[in-house]
Amino acid sequence: MTETIQGRRGRPTNEALAQTILNAASELFVELGFQATTLDKVAQRAKISKLSIYKRFENKEALFSAAITAGCQESFAPQALLEGAEGSVEDQLMAVGTSLLRTLLRPDVSSIEAMVMADKTS
């Protein structure tokens, strides 16, 4: 891998620290919304310096984008959607559809959708 998370060339980033930042940011975006979440609050939640965030993400918007992408990759990964999908093709499709619906109806997903829609109309 020749590019870091934020797209700059150089040494690979510490993936564990990047994941810690994304987890803290995701929690805060769900709890507080986009506007009320600050990089200071993310740094405090992750127990790191704000500089550590800026080394990996250009700004709050880039961090939000990365958090949403990571959440989607986790929630909508084929292995997650296919969990419990056995039997006939119809049974497998029903299992995938049920898994997808459960994911879309989770409170954290609903919160993010509401936050994005509120920001879009502002």
pLDDT at residue 25 greater than cutoff 60: yes
Task: Tell me the backbone φ, ψ of residue 33, rounded to 5 degrees.
Answer: 90, 170
Would you place residue 59 in the very low, low, confident or very high pLDDT band (cuts 50, 70, 90)? very high
Range scoring the smallest mean pLDDT among 8-22, 53-67, 96-110: 8-22
Domain range list for the chain? 1-73, 76-122
The total of other beta-carbon atoms located within 10 Å of residue 27's CB is: 16
pLDDT, tens only, 78-110: 776 666 677 888 888 888 888 888 888 888 888
Residues ≥6 apart with Cβ < 8 Å to 99: 80, 81, 82, 83, 84, 85
Report pTM: 0.70
On average, the pLDDT of the chain sits at 82
CATH class of 1-73: mainly alpha
Residues ≥6 apart with Cβ < 8 Å to 75: 103, 109
